[in-house]
Chain A
């Protein structure tokens, strides 16, 4: 191997290694941190400690773990399911049905993706207030159901859905909603899997909006509870790391169980 090529190879691997370190280090830090005391963590202790059981016990004392998990799971699962149903229906509709206003409506929808959530937060809070939904989980779920990004994602994916499948289903006697239910959804399974992962993760990790709209402890989600643990007067970082790990686990499980479909879905369901 010529010196230039060797240098090039070293450069590429060095860069990739740095990127891997940047991605993996927070997880490593989390795992190491939950076995150490706050003092050790502040001192930058990078090896496994002996405080894991102590930290875990403290976490379960300080936080009502079953309740906050249930809250997060309920919001994430219902929210994701509703988002997938509504947004995939809209994406399908945008692609399949022609109308003179379709393109301008769609452009308007794409525009909403560019609006930062902070801008929407106050009007949204007022709307939820008027609907009497403050401090309810519905207030978290509702604003995400018709997601501009997910509609865009499904419309793009629907472009690969063969029109002849729809024609065949019509000749077989299916109405439009039946085509969607019996043909489109099963055919686009990978697209749904990829969208499920994206939406589930976003909903599970959602912080700002639940912080604004959820006001009592029994309604709070895991992200809010971890944040409140971290912002205590004397934060116990070992306990925070236990919470962070527990909060990360469901998203990891979802991702790794659906990884294959996720990749397929990102590439396109139809081959």
Chain B
């Protein structure tokens, strides 16, 4: 179990800069998840850590040692790939023991380690099979088993559940969480699925265009996003983001005019930042923050209703304005075309400046 540190790590392919001065401290035994949209550089960052790509500039330190020029097999890492990357001509047992055999470990010790990993992952009955005779979930377990037998200092997972169906994905997610609790190995996990990120991570690293936008615990990121991108990226359904213009009322209070909601005026409560008249901002409100008793209210027409059983999501809009997602615990009677009045507490609003940065109290 090692800590891992990235210091000003950059990566370029020719003239294209994929990662820009990434800094990150991963504590020993921590479960870190890299998330971000396609092309944000999260997989490249993982490959740099694994040694499958060269670092253009900056330093990678694992367990106190600089690892930039160390061969992938000597970094003390094990990696689980999206497509499992099992060697098709080897049995499960051979796949799991291959790296150890190659490192010259005695046969008896390899078998012992493979059996121990197989026991943890319920792979014992499958040891003699070849990968083509396994289901997707079994292959994924073998890929994880292959990583476990190496007893690495750091586990790397590159979108390991993307090829599984929804049910199996949930099951494997739980398995990975259990495994981490059991083995307590430092883990770095790449995904574009934010549910995986929220449920597995001790801390999430949100990346966009090669830059770390925010690092924090899942709930920190959800409750306190640093900017508009993180606010929009974390949470499903997404946070509602509406353009707004600051207005100073006759009483000298700051209010927001929301053009997408028929120029509704929302007076901001005390303690929220004072904004200059006419300042363009973006207002964010999460779907579950609409309630029956907020002080701000507006009327909407429902476009689409999604009944999930315990919860209902309404996609509604005012005239031709932006669609707003509203989460309702008791919304079973709603149907498309219905008019509804939604309320929220202005204190729950998130405010973002024109450049996307968060406007916090006192700014």
Distance A186 CA – B99 CA, assembled complex (angstroms): 17
* Chain A residues whose C-beta falls within 8 Å of the C-beta of B77 in the assembled complex: 171
CB–CB A164/B102 < 8 A: no
Is A183 part of the binding interface, using a Cβ–Cβ cutoff of 8 Å?
Answer: yes
Is B89 part of the binding interface, using a Cβ–Cβ cutoff of 8 Å?
Answer: yes
Distance A170 CA – B77 CA, assembled complex (angstroms): 11
CB–CB B103/A165 < 8 A: no
Q: What distance in Å separates the Cβ of B155 from its nearest Cβ neighbour in chain A? A: 12
Residues of chain A in range 171-202 having any CB-CB distance to chain B below 8 Å: 171-174, 183, 186-187, 189
* With known contacts A171-B72, A173-B71, A173-B73, A162–B52 Cβ distance under 8 A: no
* Chain B residues whose C-beta falls within 8 Å of the C-beta of A173 in the assembled complex: 71-74, 99, 102-103
- The listed residue (B85, B87, B99, B103) touching A167 by CB distance below 8 A is B85
CB–CB A171/B50 < 8 A: yes
Distance A164 CA – B102 CA, assembled complex (angstroms): 18
Is A168 part of the binding interface, using a Cβ–Cβ cutoff of 8 Å?
Answer: yes
* Chain A residues whose C-beta falls within 8 Å of the C-beta of B84 in the assembled complex: 164
CB–CB A165/B71 < 8 A: no
CB–CB A167/B83 < 8 A: no
Is B271 part of the binding interface, using a Cβ–Cβ cutoff of 8 Å?
Answer: no
CB–CB A170/B83 < 8 A: no
* Chain B residues whose C-beta falls within 8 Å of the C-beta of A189 in the assembled complex: 89
CB–CB A170/B89 < 8 A: no
Is B88 part of the binding interface, using a Cβ–Cβ cutoff of 8 Å?
Answer: yes
- The listed residue (B73, B74, B83) touching A164 by CB distance below 8 A is B83
* With known contacts A171-B52, A171-B79, A173-B73, A162–B85 Cβ distance under 8 A: yes
* With known contacts A171-B50, A171-B78, A172-B102, A162–B83 Cβ distance under 8 A: yes
Q: What distance in Å separates the Cβ of A88 from its nearest Cβ neighbour in chain B? A: 16
* Chain B residues whose C-beta falls within 8 Å of the C-beta of A174 in the assembled complex: 73, 102
CB–CB B85/A165 < 8 A: yes
Q: Which residue of B lies closest to A165 (CB)?
A: B85
Q: What distance in Å separates the Cβ of B161 from its nearest Cβ neighbour in chain A? A: 15
* Chain A residues whose C-beta falls within 8 Å of the C-beta of B99 in the assembled complex: 171-173
CB–CB B87/A165 < 8 A: yes
Q: What distance in Å separates the Cβ of B45 from its nearest Cβ neighbour in chain A? A: 15
Q: Which residue of A lies closest to B83 (CB)?
A: A164
* Chain B residues whose C-beta falls within 8 Å of the C-beta of A169 in the assembled complex: 87
Q: Which 5 A-B pairs have the closest CB atoms?
A: A173-B73, A172-B99, A168-B85, A186-B89, A164-B85
A residues contacting B by CB (< 8 A) are 162, 164-165, 167-174, 183, 186-187, 189, 270-271
18 contacts between A and B (CB under 8 A): A162-B83, A162-B85, A164-B84, A167-B52, A167-B85, A168-B86, A168-B87, A170-B52, A171-B52, A171-B72, A172-B99, A173-B74, A173-B103, A174-B73, A186-B87, A186-B89, A187-B89, A270-B88
B residues contacting A by CB (< 8 A) are 47, 50-52, 71-74, 77-79, 81-89, 98-99, 102-103, 132
Extra contacts besides A171-B51, A183-B87, A186-B89 (17): CB < 8 Å: A162-B83, A162-B85, A164-B82, A164-B85, A167-B47, A167-B79, A167-B81, A168-B81, A168-B85, A168-B86, A171-B50, A171-B78, A171-B79, A173-B99, A173-B103, A187-B88, A270-B88
